[in-house]
Amino acid sequence: MCGIAGWVAFDADLTARTDVIERMTATMTARGPDEGGVFVRRHAALGHRRLAVLDLPGGRQPMTAETPQGTVALVYSGETYNYRELRVELRRCGHRFRTDGDTEVVLRGYLEWGDAVAERLNGMYAFAVWDERTQTLLLVRDRMGVKPLYHHRTPDGVIFGSEPKAILANPAFRRVVDTGCLRELVGFTKAPGWSLWKDMYEVEPGTVVTVDRDGVRRRDYWRLEPRPHADDADATAGRVGELLADIVPRQMVADVPQCVLLSGGLDSSVVTALAAVEMRGRGEKARTFSVDFAGLEESFRPDEFREAPDSPFVRDVVAHVGTEHRDVLLDSRELADPALRRAVVSARDMPIGLGDIDSSMYLLFRAIRAESTVALSGEFADELFGGYIWFHHPAARDADTFPWLAFQNTYTADRTDLLRPELRRALDITAYVADEYATAVARVECPPDENPFERRMRVIGHLHLTRLVRAMLDRKDRMSMAVGLEVRVPFADHRLVEYVYNTPWSLKTLDGREKGLLLRAAGHLLPRSVTERRKSPYPSTQDDGYAAALQRQARDVLAEAGHPTFEIVDPAWVHDIVRRDPATVTGATRTGLERVLDLYHWLDIYRPELRLG
């Protein structure tokens, strides 16, 4: 896992601008703490920061291949899990390898197949190839969007990076945020290609972007498509089990210590059980980590999302499958530390406002990084198998909008409440969300003979797999890579996604259970307490002291009356919240206060030019 950056300028001599690519690359140091390098030619500059995971002595980048017609250079972030099979195939084609890792396989795959190399890769990756022979840049991103990649078009080329901060380090980019940029931040539809910064865009998952003197072109090399599903319940569950039994060991290839993130929920427990089987075959124990909050188990209060704390279920899994386990225990003082919030906002490059959920994840990953470099996660299973509560909530499921926005409880609220009234009117979030929803639904292909209910569930599944899950993957990537930890996502393997996406909802909910298909496929590996547990989200602190600390910090922000925070936020909303009893600052209200503080730090760090008129 690594960080990449680059600049292509066909009307400039970049050999005189090495300092710029070095600054851009330096912003990726957290993603790649082990070593870095740059490749500079007249019209192209590539930078790379490396987190050494495979082939520790041989995987240095930028990696180049010399041909009679010129140099081809690669900067690559991620992992290709089928690199060994591809290496065998490429050797048959006459290629010789100098290294043992996956990076050279991708480079030589490009030499053999051109941009069609993308279709052959199984993994999580974002990479750039500069081909001196044709003066062409290629940007490629994995099918699901596990690894991030952004770009900005210039009059004579492009600037790109794993994260926006790499592009922001280039003086050719203007740090402008306007109302168009803010609509998605508030609306939370995860519009394809969106970034918070004006004229900066994601390279969309499953695409190849080509840049040459003729301009910028995009090719989709993968998308979700409807396919017939003829397997019955037992055969479907068997196929899911077979795929998972291949995927998890395949993703456990590393030359550094690795572990599993364990919450005691179904998804992470399945990954843990399969990882434990693989490690026993190697004569070792799987290592697991969980996050918990001081005093939470003893004082836990059930709510609409969480019926019980995670800890008892974690212990059951550890005892059942036999892992070497560690709990990372946090307290509210750590979570409320402004320095931590600042670090999290810097990692995300935007004030996303998930509060202590982001902060606790950052602290968990930082603790894990002291003992491990790679972690496996159960992320993606809820979106794939239909685990979220709104999949099973008729009002949210049938609403003419995104289900995660339609679902209502104490944790949901009007995300525009805290905005200045004039900005709220200018953004018109209701109309924005409606337009995005219509666009998203129009992209869903459905078989002509699918019944209306199955068609609706296909649409909802598509929305989650092409919209919501990308936000969740980005969050996990940013929090982990900010501390140099590589998180792998077995449930995001495209073979599993293609198969389960086309499985009827009646099979996904086998035995009348949420994620019943996954239970049928892998439940035999788990303790009964976990197989009978209902979906529970990532934990959050219930300590009133955390809310009180947020109120104190918000009062300090209010004291800076001229701060640009209040070009966006209504100070009257903040005044109201800071006067309340901390015990009542919960759910959506607390989340809103966290968004205000995130925004304050983001404005302080990035100093954007706001155009909100």
Tell me the catalytic residues.
2
**Residues 473, 145: Cα–Cα separation, whole Å:** 7
Per-residue tokens: 501: 């996406």
Beta bridge partners of 77: 126
- Quick one: CA torsion of 417, 177, 464, 271, rounded to 10 degrees? -100
Contact 178, 185 (CB under 8 A): no
For helices 338-348 and 587-606, angle between their N-to-C axes, nearest 10 degrees: 70
**Residue in the block written with tokens 């495209």:** 494
| Residue 313 CB neighbour total at 10 angstroms | 24
| Residue 476 CB neighbour total at 10 angstroms | 19
Chain centroid to Cα 361, Å, comes to 13
b (16+ CB within 10 A) / e for 381-408? bbbbbbbbbbbebeebbebebbbbbbbe
| Residue 97 CB neighbour total at 10 angstroms | 14
**Residue in the block written with tokens 């703490």:** 33
Q: Is 537 exposed, middle or buried (0-12, 13-18, 19+ CB in 10 A)?
A: middle
**Residues 588, 356: Cα–Cα separation, whole Å:** 13
Report in angstroms the alpha-carbon separations of 205 from 149, 227, 474. 9, 20, 12
Q: Residues with Cβ < 8 Å from 242, sequence gap 6 or more?
A: none
**Residues 200, 515: Cα–Cα separation, whole Å:** 37
Amino acid at 534: R
Amino acid at 384: L
The three-state (H, E, C) secondary structure of 505-565, written as one string: HHHHCHHHCCCHHHHHHHHHHCCHHHHCCCCCCCCCCCCHHHHHHHHHHHHHHHHCCCCCH
Per-residue tokens: 59: 């995987």
| DSSP label at residue 78 | E
Long-range contacts made by residues 54-58, C-beta under 8 angstroms, separation at least 24?
54/79, 54/100, 54/101, 54/102, 54/253, 54/254, 54/255, 55/99, 55/100, 55/101, 55/103, 55/255, 56/255, 56/256, 58/98, 58/99, 58/100, 58/101, 58/104
Q: Is 465 exposed, middle or buried (0-12, 13-18, 19+ CB in 10 A)?
A: buried
| Residue 486 CB neighbour total at 10 angstroms | 25
Q: Residues with Cβ < 8 Å from 327, sequence gap 6 or more?
A: 289, 290, 291, 292, 311, 314
| Residue 66 CB neighbour total at 10 angstroms | 9
Q: What is the largest CA-CA distance in the chain?
A: 73
